[in-house]
Amino acid sequence: MTVTTENLGSPDIEALPERDSLIVRCWNLVRRQPLGAAGLLFIAIMTVMAFGAEVLTSINPEEQMFEHMLEAPSWEFLLGTDNFGRDIWTRIIYGARTAMLVGFFAAFFGSVIGLMLGVGSAYFGGKIDLIFQRVMDIFLAFPSIIMALAVVSVLGTGLQNVIIAIMLPMIPQCARVVRSSALSIREIPYVDAARALGYSHGRIILRHMSPNVMAPFLIMFTSFVGQAILAEASLSYLGLGVQEPIPAWGLMLQGGAEEYAESAPWAAVFPGLAITFAVFAFNLFGDAVRDVLDPKLRSR
């Protein structure tokens, strides 16, 4: 803590601690949450893969090199090739882009819509809350993958529809968790104070209450990204998600990979590992976020 000269005249002002440098904060994170830091590292790697796919590999992910079909990992093809002679390393890197795109957008829209509905439900209370919660119950009664399947079969496949299909079941999950936190916030006088200042319902919900439920929201959001990546892989594997020839991890597990699983296991193993690590990383990171944000679990 450093005391600056400005507050010499008023001794009651406590000096704000100076922010630690980024390196110190990173080191603190590694020390306190080693698993979370590992998760974050993997997420960072995935993000770099997603954004820098063109730089990380010079091979076109859709290029079929028929002279190199089902080749084992080598220096030329780091993780081998599939039955169409496509480079698996390249497709995993480009698949990270698909996974992150679907994972991030589905989780973002699912949790943000859930946040607004949950806080709104708690804010209005009474009959609105009651009806809204029953509607959410109905949505929660469907297993989310079944609901996603239903949505895709109605809307059709494609990246956008996959995002919608994965997002929909997340809304009630997030809304429910957020609502329970928002209910306690509703009773704190600053919400009434905001009403006394003449703010509209929307403004109170979005600008005054929502920032106060950020802790559960962020926890939901990070775990949703992992779930969404898994859901996207499942849908693609079932042929209802992203379509060939777009590189997607779930898609890589299907077709040729299954057929040649014995003779060319690399075609299935590496995309499978990518999915596993991605989901694992987001779960670890989500747990770390929860530990940091939930004061009850802190410093245990």
Partner 1 sequence: MAHLLEIENLRTQFFTQQGTVQAVDGISYNVDEGETVAVVGESGCGKSVSALSILRLIPNPPGEIVGGEIRFMGKNLLDMTDQEIRSIRGRDIGMVFQEPMTSLNPVLTIGRQLTETLMHHLGSTQDESMDRARELLRLVGIGDSDRRLAQYPHHLSGGMRQRVMIAMALACEPKLIIADEPTTALDVTIQAQILELMRELTKQMGVALIVITHNLGVVARYADRVNVMYAGKVIESGSAMDIYHRPHHPYTLGLLRSVPRLDQPRGTRLIPIEGQPPDLTRLDGGCAFRPRCTFATEQCAGAIPGLEAVDEGHITACFNKEAVADSLRNTT
| Stretch 56-95 residues interacting with partner 1 (CB under 8 A) | none
Segment near partner 1 (CB under 8 A); pick from 34-42, 61-69, 205-213, 290-298? 205-213
The least CB distance from residue 138 to partner 1, in Å, is 25
The pair of three-digit structure tokens given for residue 58, joined into one six-digit string: 């010079």
- Give the number of other Cβ atoms within 10 Å of residue 40's Cβ: 21
Dist. CA 41–CA 261, nearest whole Å: 30
Question: What is the largest distance, in Å, between two alpha-carbon atoms of the chain?
Answer: 80
Contact flags string 159-188 toward partner 1, x per CB under 8 A: -----------------------------x
CB–CB of 43/282 below 8 Å? yes
Binding partner 1 (rule: CB under 8 A), the pick from 2, 10, 58, 299 is 10
The least CB distance from residue 15 to partner 1, in Å, is 10
Residue 203 binds partner 1 (CB under 8 A): yes
What backbone torsions phi and psi does residue 110 show, to the nearest 5 degrees?
-60, -45
Binding partner 1 (rule: CB under 8 A), the pick from 84, 124, 199, 277 is 199
What backbone torsions phi and psi does residue 81 show, to the nearest 5 degrees?
-130, 165
Measured CA to CA in angstroms, residue 17 lies from 5, 32, 289 at distances of 14, 20, 22
Closest to partner 1 by CB, 203 vs 298, is 203
Closest to partner 1 by CB, 153 vs 203, is 203
Residue 7 binds partner 1 (CB under 8 A): yes
Dist. CA 100–CA 50, nearest whole Å: 7
Closest to partner 1 by CB, 164 vs 191, is 191
Binding partner 1 (rule: CB under 8 A), the pick from 214, 218, 292, 293 is 214
Closest to partner 1 by CB, 108 vs 124, is 124
- Give the number of other Cβ atoms within 10 Å of residue 228's Cβ: 28
- Provide the β-strand partners of residue 87: 81
